[in-house]
Amino acid sequence: MRRICIFIIAFLLLFTACQPTPSAPIVIGKDNEQMIEKAKETAEAEQVGGDLYEILGAPRTYVMDLRSDAARVHIQGEAKVILPETDALPLAYVQAARFDQETVYAFFRALTNGVQLYDIPTATPKAVIEKRIRAEQQKLDELIARRGEEDSEVRVLRDMIESMQRDYLSAPEEVPLIPNDGTLKPYDKTFLGKNRGTATAVDAVSDPFGDDPGRWFAVNNDADYADAGSYTFIDEAGNEQCFTPRSGSNLTYAAKSGSMVGSYTCCTILADATEASLTGAPVAFPEDYTIPGYLEPETLHLSLTPNQARRQAEQLMADCNVTDMFVDGVYLMSDRQEIYGVEYYDPTDLDELRTQPEQQAYVVRFLRQAAGVPVESFFGTSQVMVDDSGYGPEWQYEVLEVAVDDGGIQAVHWTGPLAIEEVVTDHAALLPFEDARSIFEKMLPIVYTNDGVDGDWDIEISEVRLCLWRIFDRDSFTRGILAPVWCFYGTVNGRPGPEFQPLLIVNAVDGSVIDPLQGY
């Protein structure tokens, strides 16, 4: 089953620590200008009109069993081959888009449903700080009783309490709450004294001083990037740190800001409910499935059906006049995260983690479409390379997902929206499936060569998709190209590919292999 990437919990910032560059040699000779010219070539007669499976010689199912002794890789599986319901794929220029005020108002009204939200205050009243100090002191006393005074977590918690006590001395008695109606407000993006440009944002909660701030609605639009350079410095420990601007506007909503079902970083996919969301059938819940690290098998907590969840998510898109996105998948998710190395946990902490109430939701994933062709994506960014250091600006991939439970829409996350700037050709000349298959089987053992690891890689392919993928244009991190690609999905030793991205992406125009982290 192809795994997806879902929500992030934290509100994404413009600046982010630099990512390491992949070591595998999978980017082979990219030239966007030549690729565009090749895409604009007149398609062969057999590639005009008719069924796309016949045009490209693609099977409905791709079966393979390949072993590379040199790379210590075994690749096998029966993968469903999914082609768009069209006889042509476009190639187009795209830009990093911003959420306009009309769209923000539409989502704000639909999601808050009349509940008053407020700006997040810049100060906290004494009474609230005092209450928080008492709560943290109780936690500290319990932790000391279990672990002793010298435990590292004890020291961290004690330092936090001391900081709160200092804040209390200068805190005001009262802090007025300022109502928020979803209006975008301009602000300067400044980091370490460097002005990065002007952006617009909304950041509002329904209970600013509560233990859980309640409903949370946030938008962070791209800056105009007056300074788009990266910044490196040596921290107090002598380590080199790097911060770099990131393109990719964000719209985030949570019914309970302290808990968001959907993030792949802290949640688990229990079942693929896509087919059930179309037929109206109940989700096929895995029998006797236990999330690693827990003791009891999972049970379905929701009375909501996948079809009902899908309809609510689609209605939200209709209410907000989002017409260029379609449902790609529906997934049953749990907020329980797999627990590894249970022997290293404090027994009390492990028992508390295992007994916390579980939350479940159906997460509906939307993809953008251009000329009826899906623009595939994953949770992550691509990064402009600077002297092979990986310290260049980043561009978030587009992700739009809606989490729905028995109480309605529980969370929304939309990051990296795209705007189509210009269609270069609406009928790109495409490589036949046989060529893409050959490249995949040649390159995958190179990418996943198991050098220096005890054991072999066991790779199982599960799905092949012909779709569009956003790539960089001339090292820009705000302008790119939607190019036709063959995406190969699967698992490595039973786990999805890194960051839940495709195992391999083959450019369907020129046959080059695309590295999604480098963006081309």
pLDDT of 69 higher than 60? yes
Single residue among 170, 196, 227 that ends a domain in this structure: 170
Q: How far, in Å, CA of 500 to CA of 454, rounded?
A: 23
Rounded to 5°, angle at Cα 290 from 284 and 292: 130
Question: Cα-Cα-Cα-Cα dihedral of 364, 368, 373, 376, to 10°?
Answer: -70
| Residue that wins the pLDDT comparison between 314 and 501 | 314
- pLDDT-based confidence at residue 379 (cuts at 50, 70, 90): confident
Single residue among 136, 170, 204 that ends a domain in this structure: 170
DSSP state of 203: E
User: For the segment 284-303, what is each residue's pLDDT rounded down to a tens digit?
Assistant: 888 899 999 999 999 999 99
139 and 88 inside one domain = no
Whose CA is closest to 469, among 439, 497, 428? 428
Q: How far, in Å, CA of 417 to CA of 179, rounded?
A: 27
Q: Per the domain annotation, does 195 fall within a domain?
A: no
- pLDDT-based confidence at residue 501 (cuts at 50, 70, 90): confident
Residue 130, domain extent: 126-170
* pLDDT value of residue 2: 38
432 and 485 inside one domain = yes
Number of domains in the chain: 2
DSSP state of 92: E
Q: What percent of the chain has pLDDT over 70?
A: 87
Rounded to 5°, angle at Cα 26 from 23 and 29: 120
Which token pair is 409? 């829409």
* pLDDT value of residue 22: 35
| Residue that wins the pLDDT comparison between 470 and 383 | 470
32-41, 247-256, 319-328, 352-361, range with the lowest pLDDT: 32-41
Q: Per the domain annotation, does 457 fall within a domain?
A: yes
> What SS3 class is residue 451?
coil
Q: How far, in Å, CA of 246 to CA of 248, rounded?
A: 6
Q: How far, in Å, CA of 469 to CA of 367, rounded?
A: 11
Q: Per the domain annotation, does 415 fall within a domain?
A: no
Concatenating the DSSP letter of every residue in 135-158 gives HHHHHHHHHHHHH-TT-HHHHHHH
Q: Per the domain annotation, does 470 fall within a domain?
A: yes
User: For the segment 175-199, what is each residue's pLDDT rounded down to a tens digit?
Assistant: 999 999 999 999 887 766 666 788 9
* pLDDT value of residue 15: 34
**pTM, full prediction:** 0.87
Q: How far, in Å, CA of 417 to CA of 249, rounded?
A: 7
175-179, 212-216, 232-236, 284-288, range with the lowest pLDDT: 232-236
- Decide: 467 and 84 in contact? Cβ < 8 Å: yes
* Residue 288 falls in which region: left (phi positive, over 0), alpha (psi -120 to 50) or beta: left
Rounded to 5 degrees, φ, ψ at 272 are -85, 115
pLDDT of 212 higher than 90? no
Single residue among 170, 198, 224 that ends a domain in this structure: 170
Q: Per the domain annotation, does 343 fall within a domain?
A: no
Whose CA is closest to 505, among 436, 432, 427? 436
Q: Per the domain annotation, does 460 fall within a domain?
A: yes
* pLDDT value of residue 5: 35
Q: What is the mean pLDDT of the chain?
A: 85
DSSP state of 499: G
Whose tokens are 């579980």? That residue is 358
Q: Per the domain annotation, does 88 fall within a domain?
A: yes
Length of the chain counted residue by residue: 520
* pLDDT value of residue 315: 98
Which token pair is 159? 């330092």
pLDDT, average across residues 12-32: 41
Rounded to 5 degrees, φ, ψ at 441 are -70, -25
pLDDT of 44 higher than 90? no
Q: Are strands 91-96 and 479-492 parallel, antiparallel or unpaired?
A: antiparallel
Q: Per the domain annotation, does 302 fall within a domain?
A: no
434 and 508 inside one domain = yes
pLDDT, average across residues 401-405: 95
* pLDDT value of residue 382: 87
* pLDDT value of residue 42: 60
434 and 489 inside one domain = yes
In single-letter form, the type of residue at position 412 comes to: V
